[in-house]
Structures are given as structure tokens and as C-alpha cells.
């Protein structure tokens, strides 16, 4: 069939690459590539240029593990932030999301994953040693475990609590419960029970 089929190689190859990106299926990849073809070539060239330079420009912050152009990163080197509070996150992307909420003014530590034995991810695969190094330098008062309220997140949080119990610091986790604008009717049972357990006095 391939011979009779209106296959265009460069197009198909690009669609194949796009459809491997997270959240992009084959149909969206097609829509994107045709959009790029319909657009001014500058769009494709600009995207190509940025992609080409990406891994050169961006690397991991030696301190927190976040993505950065400078080392240490803008957060780690910002004297206006509270360096006594470390927010422990699964991935560098979480840092961006938390920063966008403009609520947290401390610093970060990227674990680079969550403990997931079934997927072969053990504590040794996470940057826990680096976190312990940071804690050993002293001056840290609180560790906020901003890990997803999932089995993996809970397991990792529990593991960290045990590993770090000899340090003089407060370990907290983000509140889990109903999302703002949520509706009790539609919330799942687990979340609802967490909302009850985590209820706060008003």
C-alpha cells in the first residue's frame, strides 16, 4: 500500500518525531506539521534553532538540580530567597510550576524521580545523597516534600522521612485535598478522605 499511499517522507518523519513528544498523538502531530508547512518558513527555522541550542544552553544546577543557564541557578543564587527552607520536588518542571504560583520563597531540591520499585526506580536513582549533603552543611530549618499524592510520592516521602530523621529539621508535605473550585459530588473518595484528615480550623 505504501507505494500508492500519498506518503511524503520528510513530512512523515517529522510527524513521527512530533508524535513521540508527551501529549501529542499522531493526529495532533499531523496538525502541527501541516501548520508549520503552511506557515512562514521562519517558524520552522526558529524552532529548529532553539532546539539545536537547547542542550548547550541549559544544564542542571549543581546545587538544586533544576534546569538553568547559569550555575548555580537563579533561585539558588538569589539572596532574597529563604535558603533555610528547601522544597523537595520530583522533577525540574515542578520548580517552574511552583514558581508560577508565586507562593514559595525558599529554594528547591530536584529528586529526579520518585521511588517506584515496579519501574525499577530505587532510592539510589534519586539525588538523595546530594540532598543529605546540603542538609549536612547546616542552616536548613524546613524540608517541604512537594511530591505528588500518589503511591510513588507517598513511598518517597516516607523513605525520606526515615532517612532524614537524625537531622534537626521540620519535614512537611503539601496539603492534599479538594482542588479549589472542586465539587464534593465529583471528588474521588481517596481525595475526599484526605481532605477530612487534613482539615484545618477556620
Is the CB of residue 102 less than 8 Å from the CB of residue 117? no
The residues of the shown chain that bind a second copy, judged by CB under 8 A, are 1, 4-11, 13-14, 17-18, 20-24, 28, 30-38, 41, 43-55, 57-58, 66-69, 73-75, 78, 80-81, 91-93, 95-97, 99, 102
Sign of the CA dihedral 172, 173, 178, 180?
Answer: positive
Nearer to a second copy, 36 or 174 (CB): 36
Nearer to a second copy, 50 or 170 (CB): 50
Nearer to a second copy, 180 or 184 (CB): 180
The residues, any chain, with a CB within 8 Å of residue 83's CB and separated by 6 or more, are 106, 107, 139
Least separation in angstroms between residue 169's CB and a second copy is 23
Give the separation between CA 180 and CA 123, rounded to whole angstroms.
33
End-to-end CA distance of the chain: 68
Least separation in angstroms between residue 50's CB and a second copy is 4
Least separation in angstroms between residue 120's CB and a second copy is 17
User: Where are any strands of DSSP class E within 40-134?
Assistant: 59-60, 67-68, 82-89, 106-110
Nearer to a second copy, 97 or 158 (CB): 97
Give the separation between CA 44 and CA 37, rounded to whole angstroms.
8
Nearer to a second copy, 74 or 132 (CB): 74
Nearer to a second copy, 99 or 154 (CB): 99
Beta partners for residue 172, in sequence order: 144
Is the CB of residue 18 less than 8 Å from the CB of residue 24? yes
Least separation in angstroms between residue 7's CB and a second copy is 7
Least separation in angstroms between residue 200's CB and a second copy is 28
Give the separation between CA 175 and CA 146, rounded to whole angstroms.
9
Least separation in angstroms between residue 202's CB and a second copy is 30
Amino acid at each position: 500500500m505504501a507505494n500508492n499511499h500519498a506518503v511524503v517522507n520528510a513530512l512523515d518523519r517529522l510527524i513521527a518525531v512530533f508524535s513521540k513528544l508527551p501529549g501529542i498523538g499522531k493526529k495532533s502531530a499531523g496538525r502541527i506539521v501541516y501548520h508549520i508547512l503552511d506557515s512562514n518558513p521562519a517558524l520552522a527555522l526558529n524552532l529548529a534553532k532553539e532546539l539545536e541550542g537547547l542542550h548547550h544552553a541549559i544544564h542542571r544546577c549543581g546545587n538544586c538540580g533544576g534546569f538553568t543557564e547559569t550555575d548555580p541557578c537563579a533561585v539558588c543564587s538569589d539572596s532574597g530567597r529563604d535558603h533555610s527552607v528547601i522544597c523537595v520536588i520530583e522533577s525540574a518542571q515542578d520548580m517552574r510550576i511552583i514558581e508560577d504560583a508565586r507562593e514559595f520563597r525558599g529554594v528547591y531540591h530536584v529528586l529526579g524521580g520518585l521511588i517506584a520499585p515496579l519501574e525499577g526506580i530505587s532510592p539510589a536513582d534519586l539525588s538523595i545523597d546530594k540532598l543529605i549533603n546540603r542538609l549536612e552543611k547546616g542552616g536548613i530549618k524546613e524540608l517541604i516534600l512537594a511530591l505528588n499524592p500518589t503511591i510513588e510520592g507517598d513511598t518517597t516521602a516516607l523513605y525520606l522521612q526515615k532517612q532524614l530523621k537524625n537531622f534537626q529539621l521540620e519535614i512537611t508535605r503539601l496539603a492534599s485535598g479538594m482542588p479549589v473550585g472542586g465539587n464534593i459530588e465529583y471528588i474521588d473518595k481517596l481525595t475526599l478522605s484526605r481532605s477530612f484528615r487534613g482539615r484545618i480550623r477556620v
